Structures are given as structure tokens and as C-alpha cells.
Structure 1
Amino acid sequence: MSETPTAVSAPPPPAPGAEEYLALAFANSAVALPGGHFMDFLGTPEAANRWLTEHGLAPADAGVREMCAAQLRSLREHLRSLLAARVEGLPALPSALAAVNDALSKAPTAALLYWDEKNGPYRAAPCPTDQILGRALATLAANAADLLTGPDADRLTRCGSAPCNRYLLRHGRRHWCSTRCGDRARAARAYARRTRGQEDSSAQRDSSAQADSQEKD
């Protein structure tokens, strides 16, 4: 099935857990929609810059370029691979683990020494413009690691309403990321029941007709 990019002006509501874990919001930044369409909030440098800004990971004037947006999209796919492995109980792909660990290593490990004219020396973590992406990647990777290794990992699941591809933290028996997906899943089940009932009735009529024909013979 082909996928057609869709305008990103009307994002769906956050999936359950996405406001608690930035990594979930990041993984869900590409959304599959009915009809073979999808929304990618990292699809262009401008969109990626906007997403980072909205989530407190970069200033509005960061000037994200395509190379940076591509790195974000790559990390997102590796993270989705790890989420899928956790949900399905499968081994993680080594390449996905390596990508997340590489992103984690981009975080500064030591505060640098600065000197204020009035207050004298002090230490603070560096944040030059060329490290904005590295900090964003490290923050997202660290949050993903916290999710996958923490107690909430047992609640992690994928939306049960096809074709939606978003992940969420399950509350009770709910397996849908939004009311819209829940309504679509219920409608699909109702349609399947009606179709199955019609097929059963048709088969029963055919069987009765065949039995009547045999009795006449």
C-alpha cells in the first residue's frame, strides 16, 4: 500500500503516556492514517525544528537542516524498532540498540568552567548552537531508555486500531491511542459481525435448499 504525505496542520491528540514520556511522542511523530496517508512531523527541516521547539529541545531559530532532520528520523525508526521488540517480546535489533546508545553518548558529560565579570568563576553545561541536535538526540534516547527499563514498560502497547501505528501506555484494557481509533475499531468489529452473520444465514439457506432438494429426489 502506498503512503501519501499529509499536511501536518492538524495533529491527533497525544497518545496515552506521550505526555509522560517524550520518547513516546517522538516515536509517534509519524502517524499512519486510513486510506494509505500519513503525517510526518519530522518530514522537513522546518517541521523538525518546530517539533523540537514545541517539546523544549531547541530554540525556534535553531535552523535545523535536512541532515539534522534525517538523523532525527533515523533515531525515531530505531526507537520504534525497540518499542516493537518490547511489546512483542522479541530480541532487539543490534543496530537499534547501537543507534540509541550512540545518541546517549552525545550528551555532555562534564560542566565547563566559565568566568563571570561580577561573580567570578562558575561551572555550567555547554550548549553551543552546533550541539543543539546532539543534546536533543541524547535527551530523547535517555527518555527512551528510562521508558524501556522502567516499570511502565509493561504497559507499553501498540494501538489496536489499524492502520494506526502509534504506541501508548495501556490503561486497563484500553488498547487505542485515541477516541477516534477506538470508534474505528468498534465499527470494524461491528461490520465483521454483520458480515459473518450474513454469510452464516446464506450458508444455512443453501444447506436447507439442498436438503429439500434431496428429499424431493
Structure 2
Amino acid sequence: MGETLMTDDPALPPAPGEEQYPALALANSAIALPGGHTADLLGTPAQTNHWLTEHGLAPVDIDMREMCAAQLRSLREQIRALLASRTAGLPALPAALSAINEALTRVPTARLLQWDDGNGPYRAIPHPTTEIVDHALATLAADAADLLTHPDAERLTACDSTPCNRYLLRHGRRHWCSTRCGDRARAARAYTRRTRTRTG
């Protein structure tokens, strides 16, 4: 099992399509690196807050808690599962669909009625951090649903460079999320050709 690196900067540019679809950026926020390492942009509450801020989904300091960061990481895995199903042409996992639909409906249109045994009924005022995170989860789930149902989904593909695990929207014949991955894939192909020539 590889080591997870807690980093805000895995030194990779956004994959094609991430600027248009924040859900794609979320799916790509755990990046497989050479040597069995992973860079997790949501590895800590502070990193999660930073990621949400960078994507316009939270203010700079919302006192993010681990429970909220874990919810975002969980949604990421469900979105990744749906992207994997879509790119492989397989049926979606029911749990992934349920998670997206639950996130879509997390933000109530009004403060809900609560009942306290001592004081009776009252309208709930959600904790500010919870409210922000719920809104972010709903926004990202809606964005994932938009991506998967948009004609752009036909261009959705997984990066074709091992060990990269990022998804992208393909432009032309390009199947790599970055120049670095493209260079690595070409180098691997050249190495394979040289090895065959020597042994053949």
C-alpha cells in the first residue's frame, strides 16, 4: 500500500475539463503518483477548506472539521465510481447514484422544524460550517450530474498514463491529463519498443 502525501500542490496542472466541471476537479483531488504514492488535496480539514475556497465553494476560514472533510472525500469516491462506470460503459453502482442524489437534496429550501422536549417546537438554524459544506456537497453533486448527462460525457476518459488515476475531457486524440503524463506514456512506449528490438 502506497503512502498518502498530504499536499496542496501535487505540481500538476488541472486536467482538461476541471475548470468547466468542479466535480471533475473533486474526482481528481486524490492523485496517484509514481512509486505508489498518492497526493490527497483533501487529506486534512485545512486542505479541504483550501480546496473549497479555491473552487469558490467556501469562505477562506470556516473552521472545517474532520467530519465535514470526510463527507467531501466520500462524495469524491462516489463521483469517481460514476465516472469509472461512464468511461467503461458499465451500469452505475446503486450506492454511488444514491450518494449523489442524497447530496443533491442536502440543502433545505427553508429552516426545518425541530422539536425540543423542554422548549417545544423551533426552526433549526444549521451550524454555519455544516450549512456551507452541505451547500458545497449539493453543488458538486449537481455538477457531477450535469457532466454525466451532458454531451461532454462522450469525451470523458481516464488518463492513459500509468499510474495516473485522473479523469479528463478528451480533446482530439489526447488521452493524458497533463504534459507530464503524456511524456511518461511516450517514454514507456519507447522503452517497450527498445526492449522488444533488443530481445527480438
TM over 0.5: yes
- State whether residues 6 and 43 of structure 2, in contact with CA within 8 Å, keep that contact through their aligned partners in structure 1: no
Rg larger in structure: 1
Letter in 1 for 2:163: P
Letter in 1 for 2:182: G
Deviation readout 1:93-115 (Å, 9 max, x if unpaired): 0000000000000133369xxxx
Aligned counterpart, 2:117: none
Aligned counterpart, 1:166: 166
- State whether residues 6 and 44 of structure 2, in contact with CA within 8 Å, keep that contact through their aligned partners in structure 1: no
Deviation readout 1:29-53 (Å, 9 max, x if unpaired): 0000001111001111111011111
Aligned counterpart, 2:192: 192
Q: Distance in 2 between matches of 1:32 and 1:94?
A: 26
Q: Which runs of 4+ in 1 moved over 6 A?
A: none
Aligned counterpart, 1:151: 151
Q: Distance in 2 between matches of 1:151 and 1:128?
A: 38
TM-score, with length taken from structure 2: 0.89
Q: Distance in 2 between matches of 1:157 and 1:127?
A: 38
Superposition deviation, residue 128 in structure 1:
6.4
Aligned counterpart, 1:81: 81
Superposition deviation, residue 61 in structure 1:
1.6
Identity of aligned residues (%): 68
TM-score, with length taken from structure 1: 0.82
Aligned counterpart, 2:5: 6
SS of the equivalent of 1:75 reads helix
Q: Distance in 2 between matches of 1:197 and 1:107?
A: 60
Deviation readout 1:1-31 (Å, 9 max, x if unpaired): x211224143310000000101100100000
Q: Distance in 1 between matches of 2:166 and 2:126?
A: 32
> Cα gap change, 1:127/1:13 in structure 2, threshold over 3 Å: closer, same or farther?
farther
Structure 2 counterparts to residues 1-217 of structure 1, below 5 A: 2-11=1-10, 12-109=12-109, 129=128, 130-200=130-200
SS of the equivalent of 2:161 reads coil
Q: Distance in 2 between matches of 1:54 and 1:72?
A: 15
Deviation readout 1:53-93 (Å, 9 max, x if unpaired): 11111111211101111111111000000000000000100
Q: Distance in 2 between matches of 1:132 and 1:76?
A: 17
Alpha-carbon RMSD = 1.7
Deviation readout 1:156-198 (Å, 9 max, x if unpaired): 0000000000000000000000000000000000000011111
| Number of residue equivalences | 186
Q: Distance in 2 between matches of 1:36 and 1:24?
A: 22
Where do 5+ consecutive residues of structure 2 fail to align?
Answer: 112-124
